[in-house]
Amino acid sequence: MAIKYTKLFSAVLFALASVGSALLTPITAAAEGVPPAFIQITPTKQKVSIEPGGSYTSSMKVQNIGDGDFNYSVEAVPYNVVDENYTQNYNNVGTYSRIAEWITFDEKTKSGTLAAGESVDVNFTVNVPKDAPAGGQYAAIMASTGDGSSEANNVRTISRVGMIFYASIAGETRKEGSVVSNSIPSIVFEPPLTVTSLVENNGNVEATAEYTFKIWPLFDKETIYNNEDNKGTLDVMPETRRFGTMSWDGAPRLGIFWVEQTVSFLDQVSTNKKLVFICPIWLLFIIFAIIFFMIFWLISRAHKRGGKESKVSRKKKGDSEKKEETENE
């Protein structure tokens, strides 16, 4: 009996070791080709504070980093988001996107032609009305070029890039919000290992959420991934919820790790720590199949042993009854 158990467990361990050696290597992927960009802007974001009735002047650099000339133009459009994933919307004017109507451009730099390698500083001014509501105001300053056309196919392509402009109008501002969720999966079937979170801004100005992500092996206290020196951040606009994710791209395909995520938003700090098992789903099926087979085999052996013992018991009982009948005679 002991020999049979030994052979069974040896076979199980050999099967796991055979697939394990190949799975412990992290996945790497070749970078996909990126189409060349021709128009570029800097910076991509500006944050300012302005008094009601005041003004603010700044600029945005538009660059031609392609090989050919193009005509460009700039405009200010409302900046809104429509869901927790922050899908951008540049069409609807809302409570917090009226600033697009307060932006004017220097006519000399508002449009023009840029040769390959050239750049221009586009000057703009924000004139805030005296009765402007306190709180956040958001716009996108877009630079576009429409020179990529094809008369044969009657198709016209437009390259468009934008700078997000965050303005805080002075007055009765509120900073209120909460961390709604801080989630870590228990099982990951395929790298990368991703943690998620959801924060809600109930105030009337934007606030920044900060994210810390740590990972260390099951039996080791030294972290193998830690972003404390370069924490993740997300700007959360007023009266919105924002879904955030962080990933460990170097995760192996098999392993058990401690994972910790800390989300800091306004005056709230949420920390979640969990043991995470990384395992391909097909290997999980194999493990479950092996466990099921072992249980079934043990039950079958116990049932056969019980049957033999019952047969012996019945035989002994029958012999005993025959002996009693013989003695009675």
The pLDDT mean for the chain works out to 84
Total Cβ atoms within 10 A of residue 98: 18
- Beta strand 119-127 with 255-265 is unpaired
**Residue with more model confidence, 289 or 39:** 39
Q: How far apart are CA 245 and CA 197, in angstroms?
A: 6
Contacts of 327 (CB under 8 A, 6+ apart): none
Contacts of 239 (CB under 8 A, 6+ apart): 96, 201, 202, 204
- Beta strand 45-50 with 155-169 is parallel
**pLDDT value at 266 more than 90:** yes
What confidence score (pLDDT) does residue 231 get? Answer: 95
What confidence score (pLDDT) does residue 142 get? Answer: 96
For 94-140, the pLDDT digits (tens) are: 999 999 999 999 999 999 999 999 999 999 999 999 999 999 999 99
3-class SS of residue 315:
helix
Confidence of residue 159 (pLDDT cuts 50, 70, 90): confident
For 186-201, the pLDDT digits (tens) are: 999 999 999 999 999 9
Q: How far apart are CA 105 and CA 109, in angstroms?
A: 8
**Pair 181, 158 in one domain:** no
90 near 77, Cβ under 8 Å? yes
> Looking at the domain assignment, is residue 271 inside a domain?
yes
Domain residues for the domain of 195 are 175-281
Of the residues 148, 169, 190, the one at which a domain ends: 169
**Pair 70, 181 in one domain:** no
25 near 142, Cβ under 8 Å? no
**Pair 256, 317 in one domain:** no
State how many domains the chain has: 3
**pLDDT value at 327 more than 70:** no
C-alpha distances (whole Å) from 278 to each of 196, 227, 286 are 17, 20, 15
Q: What is the DSSP letter of 171?
A: S
The CATH number linked to 217 is 2.60.40.10
Mean pLDDT of 62-83: 94
For 161-216, the pLDDT digits (tens) are: 999 999 999 999 999 999 999 999 999 999 999 999 999 999 999 999 999 999 99
Minimum mean pLDDT among 34-48, 84-98, 114-128, 266-280: which range?
A: 34-48
Of the residues 139, 169, 199, the one at which a domain ends: 169
> Looking at the domain assignment, is residue 246 inside a domain?
yes
Of the residues 152, 169, 186, the one at which a domain ends: 169
**Pair 70, 158 in one domain:** yes
> Looking at the domain assignment, is residue 45 inside a domain?
yes
What confidence score (pLDDT) does residue 299 get? Answer: 87
**Pair 274, 308 in one domain:** no
> Looking at the domain assignment, is residue 16 inside a domain?
no
**Pair 209, 236 in one domain:** yes
Q: Name residue, tokens 């790497």.
A: 28
Q: Name residue, tokens 């869901």.
A: 83
What confidence score (pLDDT) does residue 323 get? Answer: 59
What confidence score (pLDDT) does residue 322 get? Answer: 60
Q: How far apart are CA 221 and CA 152, in angstroms?
A: 65
Confidence of residue 2 (pLDDT cuts 50, 70, 90): very low
Contacts of 252 (CB under 8 A, 6+ apart): 23, 24, 25, 26, 191, 278
3-class SS of residue 118:
coil
Strands (E), the chain: 39-42, 45-50, 55-64, 70-78, 80-81, 88-89, 103-105, 111-114, 119-127, 135-150, 155-169, 177-183, 187-188, 193-201, 207-217, 225-226, 232-236, 240-248, 255-265, 268-278
Mean pLDDT of 270-283: 93
